[in-house]
Structure 1
Amino acid sequence: MKEGLNKTSDPDTGMGRRRFLNSAAAAGLAGVGMAACSEKPATAVAGASAASGSATAHAQGGSSVHLKPGELDTYYGLWSGGHTGDMRVLGLPSGRELTRIPCFVPDALVGWGVTNESKDVMGRKADGSLRYTVADTHHTHASYKDGNYDGRYAWINDKINSRIARIRLDYFVCDKITELPNVQGFHGIFPDKRDPVDPAINYTTRVFCGAEFHIPLPNNGGDIDKIDKYRTLFSCVDAESMEVRWQVLIDGNCDLTATSYDGKLAATNQYNVENGAKYEDMMSAERDACLFFNVARIEAAVKAGKFKTYGDSKVPVVDGTRASNADAKTALTAYVSVPKNPHGVNASPDGKYFICAGKLSPTCTVIELNKVLDWFDGKLEKLDQAIVAEVEVGLGPLHTAFDGRGNAYTTLFLDSAVVKWNVEAAIKFHAGDKNAKYVVDRLDLQYQPGHVNASQSETIAADGKWLCVGCKFSKDRFLPVGPLHPENEQLIDISGEKMVLMADHPVRGEPHDFIIFKRELLHPKQVYALDDFPNAIKDPKESGVVRNGRKVTVKLTSQAPAFSMREFTVKKGDEVTLILTNLDKVEDLTHGFAIPKYNVNFIVNPQETKSVTFIADKPGVFWAYCTHFCHALHLEMRSRMIVEA
């Protein structure tokens, strides 16, 4: 991150917010708690080490999770919010929650789901109301360039309603949401790391999405009792347009997703190759699969018109079933057998391997990607030959992270532990060298861990500094708060040979996956660009009320400590669209706007424009006021909405 972004000054005016608050307040208010404010920036410069001067450093490189006041974290973390339907942004190693980015579910703080702009992103019914108001976010990943994160986008899924949201990482806001057609239980998600069709395009152009649940296709009331005809689709979404490019009809289901560093392969682990509809049927087979997708061949098939569509969807669907892909030289998919009910597939930073964890088998399976490509090229007789290791690591292995030094870290749900094991040693052991000691370390966790990720884990720049584990149960770790316990996210130092547990963090359920990356990969903007908003009111003189029959547009601006109109009048029954532009340019000078009894509350950040539409169905006087502290005269910042009977 650039040093300038850590200062409290505005790039245009050079005026710090503290100085602004001082100078803008009337002289008679100088003593109202403002004299203590200083022009000196309160934050440390970007180059400061997160471990410097810490009181709780330990032997592994002096690493610490405790930062001094004003000291900045060295990593960003993007976390799923679970049932809150948002994305959490953390600073690491401190574990401090920096913000939440609303996506799929209304958010009262910023007015997400209240403003017209957010409703348009979320999706509306014909009557203008939101299509969905619940969500279940699981997985979040970010865009790549040259095998590392590029700071452009992040994506997150909604499992309930099969939606994918894109986050702009320059402003940390959701700008697009797409609903996948003919899909239920959308779970796994991963962007490609480069374009496989054009090697010169070395950045993310697509995002792959897996669906867990089998449904009739199309799901319009037919074939309800014909479970053997239920099918699942694997989807590809365009990273820029957020349109669904294509889908693949498969046998079995999808769970999680991974992509190769050369852009040629995407994969999903499958825990239900039986196509079972009941849990006992889903675990009857001793082996399931890691299903590989040959991206270039699929896109060539779509271009050649070798697809069908389902229901009202126009998205092309190619046939990726086993029966239609037996010939390796023309196959679009490849089913590699792995044990049993795996829960997770992850790509090693060296680009060589995908690792599937067994869940109902105490094993991790290491699949060599070049051998999968050899099978597609007809150079490998059997797909099983792509498996170069299948080793026991403990009970209930779920997910795997990497340190960039050849070691993998796998969570053991039933053992309540994380195991560190060396991939190359495991390959030697599997090849017959029983003296190869592949298990390096093991650490007990509290309790029953699920997702795991390490700093820069699935990039070429994996640095082996920090590991975070999401534990599904906390029990005795925190103060009791009634029957609903928090979950426990635990931070581990992995910079040395031994793992060291550094911190517990209680978290409201139920978060899932996350990524951790160095802060210098992001360059967030502190102030919006006024010209980015087509309906921006650029001058307070443009404020006013415009009537078109019973439709009324109210144009307002905000500049601390006042709105541009002290009052405005509409009539009962009017459809009112209120547009508000924040003309303040000072970093962190956000305004809110709320109208009592009208279910209106939202914020506008510096140079941002938002709008709301409502029916003025209650006559009277309604004091619209700023809800976000902005100024010494914040409480006086109001406007009267008068609704004439």
Structure 2
Amino acid sequence: MINPKDKNLPEIDTQDSQASEHVKLSRRLFLGGGAALVGAGAAGLGGSLLTANVQAAGNSNAAHINVGPGELDEYYGFWSGGHSGEVRILGLPSMRELMRIPVFNVDSATGWGLTNESKAVLGENAPLGGDCHHPHMSMTDGQYDGKYVFINDKANSRVARIRGDIMKTDKITTIPNTQAIHGLRVQKVPYTKYIFANAEFRIPHPNNGLAMDAIDKYYTLFSAVNAETMEVDWQVIVDGNLDNTDADYTGKYAFSTCYNAEGAVDLAGSMRDERDHLVIFNIERIEAAVKAGNFQTLGDSKVPVVNGRKGSDLTAYVPVPKNPHGINTAPGGKYAVANGKLSPTVTVFELAKFDALFDGSIKPRDTVVAEVELGLGPLHTAFDNRGNAYTTLFIDSQICKWDVEKAIRAYKGEKVNYILQKLDVHYQPGHNHTTMGETRDADGKYLISLCKFSKDRFLQCGPLHAENDQLIDISGDEMKLLHDGPTYAEPHDCMIVHRSKVKTAKLYKRDDPTFAGTVAMAKADGVTLETDNKVIRDGNKVRVYMTSVAPSYGMDQFSVKQGDEVTVIVTNLDQIEDVTHGFCMVNHGAQMEISPQQTASITFKADRPGVHWYYCNWFCHALHMEMRGRMLVEPA
């Protein structure tokens, strides 16, 4: 395999007709994996392929990302954990990992998936794990409001909500009638009423095994999840496989890239045609149809389902080059960009033309104001606050910086260089994001490239390699690479939020809804959680209530009988931030976090007689090791 870092690669001084006059170009050689993809999609690439690139900038600007002792990062980065099923919080520009939020996974540190409170959120799907792809924060008037972060689970067709004040998952919804929730975005204006969720895979309805070969009757659905209730308000049937989605800055439209217009169930069939489409959803019309009762229901679900297939007045289908992937709206709300994947082009839409499209006064392709070549494998586009776009080129392993208005002028025939710079990244980038770039507040400081491969960038740890996140300075005329960072288990996507938008609690409030069910149970038992340390026996069900104040529990021993189902409820009475306690019952698979002023509970079976110690497993005090107690299990 050719090493793309080889310093002996021949350089060329000739300039591509669409490259900047001020950059030096080098010959671009494909990575092995990229070449295979080119071969698979060659029929759809067409035209002249851009092969020039700009050499990656050195790390001379690394000092810009230094965040010294006692200093705070300027931004929160919310990273999807991919198939780990979690969300991670990083600080930018330091790229330090600050916290992990378990969502669809089991996390023994916090007890997520083990405690009764977390099991109530996870519901029946607790043991399934997850595949997180797209984290997005709720908005008000196109600006982040810090209230919620939403994340999808492609593996098990779910959407989860994380509270922004405590950074804990509080709701998970399984989307009915679907398989593989992939693209996810929030409604931006006037506020986040809906989370828009794409189901990628087409299935027969009903999917009962009786029509599995009726491929022409397969379809998938676009869903609108209510951000407050986390119920699905409505769904739309579409043609093709839905990929990514986004929304405009008027609150009137959402739109999704859609591949496999051919309706195939095999790889070759899904790449046969030269064009697929962008599906535009008219939210006002869909809501009116549902209100008027013009919908159906599918299977056991009561969710209203409307017909948005080709020919419907609820949707519009705009042809775009084959197998489009990302769809990204520019901060000003004037344009959105669909990324070609199997075409070297991106398609620029003028969103103000969508009204005329639905009025019938223009044709679908009239909404397109540019379709320009950038390079091989464009997947996602991010934006700064100066009219520039940054597109990941998966096969070229580059970020392409380009001027949107110049691209539109070039599409109209004017001879103008719209490509400003190409920066090598390592390797094969998927998503990229700029600071605040998905909101009206885009500030154009940093860009993150989430690279799918690291290859030779870090110490090897066996056959499974880390992936690579790269931080890039975009504040000046040229992109400059600042930082490489290894990352684990496919951080598919991220979002970057200024710290002023995030307001977290230092302590839990005693009436927090996350432990409302446990409070109700205590009330039924006649227990005051803040003061009582007692054991409630109900046949073979035993509930042990105890408080904790560093460095001791309110109860240093309790007795049960062999075979009892034991529920331990701990209330942390400490009022100092960062004095978190834990509870771990040795050899029983029971452990959990109890943060200051929080109540948490866990249930297990006392199936072995004898002495069993419990202890605090979150460091809390100089006498932390002494914070312990005994469960005495009497033989049956």
Secondary structure of the structure 1 residue equivalent to 2:200: strand
Task: For 1:230-249, list aligned pairs within 5 A.
Answer: 230-249=218-237
Q: Does 1:392 align with 2:373?
A: yes
Listed as ranges, the gaps of 5+ residues in structure 1 are 1-55, 125-129, 195-201, 326-330
Secondary structure of the structure 2 residue equivalent to 1:132: helix
Q: 2:425 aligns with which of 445, 452, 461?
A: 445
2:552 alignment counterpart:
562
Alpha-carbon separation, structure 1, partners of 2:531 and 2:74: 45
Secondary structure of the structure 2 residue equivalent to 1:520: helix
2:623 alignment counterpart:
633
One-letter identity of the residue aligned with 2:410: F
> Per-residue CA shift, 1:398-448, capped at 9, x if unaligned?
000000211100000010100000111111111111x22111111011111
Alpha-carbon separation, structure 2, partners of 1:220 and 1:415: 43
> Per-residue CA shift, 1:203-235, capped at 9, x if unaligned?
111100001111111212221111111110000
Q: 2:169 aligns with which of 163, 174, 179?
A: 174
Alpha-carbon separation, structure 1, partners of 2:625 and 2:297: 57
Alpha-carbon separation, structure 1, partners of 2:265 and 2:467: 29
Q: Is the 8 A contact 1:57 1:64 kept in 2?
A: no
Secondary structure of the structure 1 residue equivalent to 2:366: helix
One-letter identity of the residue aligned with 1:185: A
Secondary structure of the structure 2 residue equivalent to 1:255: strand
> Per-residue CA shift, 1:532-582, capped at 9, x if unaligned?
244457566411101122221110111001000110011112122211111
One-letter identity of the residue aligned with 1:350: G
Task: For 1:218-233, list aligned pairs within 5 A.
Answer: 218-233=206-221
Q: Does 1:116 align with 2:106?
A: no
Cα pair distance change 1:334/1:539, threshold 3 Å: closer
Task: For 1:342-357, list aligned pairs within 5 A.
Answer: 342-357=324-339
One-letter identity of the residue aligned with 2:623: L
Alpha-carbon separation, structure 2, partners of 1:319 and 1:497: 47
Task: For 1:25-174, list aligned pairs within 5 A.
Answer: 64-124=64-124, 130-174=125-169
One-letter identity of the residue aligned with 1:122: L
> Per-residue CA shift, 1:183-215, capped at 9, x if unaligned?
112100001012xxxxxxx21111000011111
> Per-residue CA shift, 1:93-113, capped at 9, x if unaligned?
010000010000111110000
Alpha-carbon separation, structure 2, partners of 1:540 and 1:233: 48
Alpha-carbon separation, structure 1, partners of 2:187 and 2:611: 55
One-letter identity of the residue aligned with 2:293: G
Q: CA deviation at 1:133?
A: 2.8
Secondary structure of the structure 2 residue equivalent to 1:307: coil
2:310 alignment counterpart:
322
Q: Is the 8 A contact 2:59 2:481 kept in 1?
A: no
Q: Does 1:606 align with 2:578?
A: no
Alpha-carbon separation, structure 1, partners of 2:297 and 2:128: 29
Alpha-carbon separation, structure 2, partners of 1:217 and 1:132: 27
Secondary structure of the structure 2 residue equivalent to 1:228: helix
TM-score normalised over the length of structure 2: 0.88
Secondary structure of the structure 2 residue equivalent to 1:613: strand
One-letter identity of the residue aligned with 2:290: V
Secondary structure of the structure 1 residue equivalent to 2:129: coil
Alpha-carbon separation, structure 2, partners of 1:63 and 1:507: 22
One-letter identity of the residue aligned with 2:440: I
Secondary structure of the structure 2 residue equivalent to 1:64: helix
Alpha-carbon separation, structure 2, partners of 1:84 and 1:423: 36
Q: Is the 8 A contact 1:63 1:493 kept in 2?
A: no
RMSD: 1.4
> Per-residue CA shift, 1:279-309, capped at 9, x if unaligned?
1111111111111000010010001011111
Q: CA deviation at 1:57?
A: 10
Q: Is the 8 A contact 2:255 2:281 kept in 1?
A: yes
Q: CA deviation at 1:71?
A: 1.3
Q: Is the 8 A contact 1:216 1:222 kept in 2?
A: no
2:300 alignment counterpart:
312
Cα pair distance change 1:351/1:540, threshold 3 Å: closer
Q: 1:190 aligns with which of 160, 168, 185?
A: 185
Alpha-carbon separation, structure 1, partners of 2:553 and 2:424: 57
Task: For 1:482-501, list aligned pairs within 5 A.
Answer: 482-501=462-481
Q: 2:352 aligns with which of 370, 374, 383?
A: 370
Q: CA deviation at 1:486?
A: 0.4
Alpha-carbon separation, structure 2, partners of 1:96 and 1:560: 29
Q: 2:289 aligns with which of 301, 305, 311?
A: 301
One-letter identity of the residue aligned with 1:92: L
The alignment of Structure 1 onto Structure 2 pairs a total of residues equal to: 568
Alpha-carbon separation, structure 1, partners of 2:208 and 2:289: 27
Alpha-carbon separation, structure 2, partners of 1:634 and 1:218: 57
Alpha-carbon separation, structure 1, partners of 2:65 and 2:530: 47
One-letter identity of the residue aligned with 1:299: E
Alpha-carbon separation, structure 1, partners of 2:529 and 2:177: 47
Q: Does 1:585 align with 2:605?
A: no
Identity of aligned residues (%): 55
Q: Is the 8 A contact 1:540 1:564 kept in 2?
A: no
Q: 2:262 aligns with which of 274, 279, 293?
A: 274
One-letter identity of the residue aligned with 1:361: S
Q: Does 1:409 align with 2:409?
A: no
Q: 2:565 aligns with which of 554, 571, 575?
A: 575
> Per-residue CA shift, 1:29-66, capped at 9, x if unaligned?
xxxxxxxxxxxxxxxxxxxxxxxxxxx9967xx97112
One-letter identity of the residue aligned with 1:411: T
Alpha-carbon separation, structure 2, partners of 1:531 and 1:384: 54
One-letter identity of the residue aligned with 2:138: S
Listed as ranges, the gaps of 5+ residues in structure 2 are 1-57, 520-526
1:419 alignment counterpart:
400
Q: Is the 8 A contact 2:152 2:184 kept in 1?
A: yes
Q: 1:258 aligns with which of 233, 246, 267?
A: 246
Alpha-carbon separation, structure 1, partners of 2:280 and 2:109: 42
Alpha-carbon separation, structure 1, partners of 2:530 and 2:326: 55
Alpha-carbon separation, structure 2, partners of 1:597 and 1:350: 57
Q: CA deviation at 1:509?
A: 2.2
Alpha-carbon separation, structure 2, partners of 1:567 and 1:357: 62
Q: 1:341 aligns with which of 310, 323, 327?
A: 323
> Per-residue CA shift, 1:157-183, capped at 9, x if unaligned?
110100100000100000000000011
Q: Does 1:525 align with 2:505?
A: yes
The answer to which of 65-74 and 538-547 deviates more is: 538-547
Secondary structure of the structure 2 residue equivalent to 1:437: coil
One-letter identity of the residue aligned with 1:295: I
Alpha-carbon separation, structure 1, partners of 2:335 and 2:269: 30
Q: CA deviation at 1:274?
A: 1.2
Alpha-carbon separation, structure 1, partners of 2:366 and 2:577: 58
2:532 alignment counterpart:
542
One-letter identity of the residue aligned with 1:451: H
One-letter identity of the residue aligned with 1:472: K
Q: Does 1:288 align with 2:276?
A: yes
> Per-residue CA shift, 1:575-634, capped at 9, x if unaligned?
222111111011000001001121101110000011112222111110000001100110
Q: 1:209 aligns with which of 197, 200, 203?
A: 197
Q: Is the 8 A contact 2:529 2:545 kept in 1?
A: no
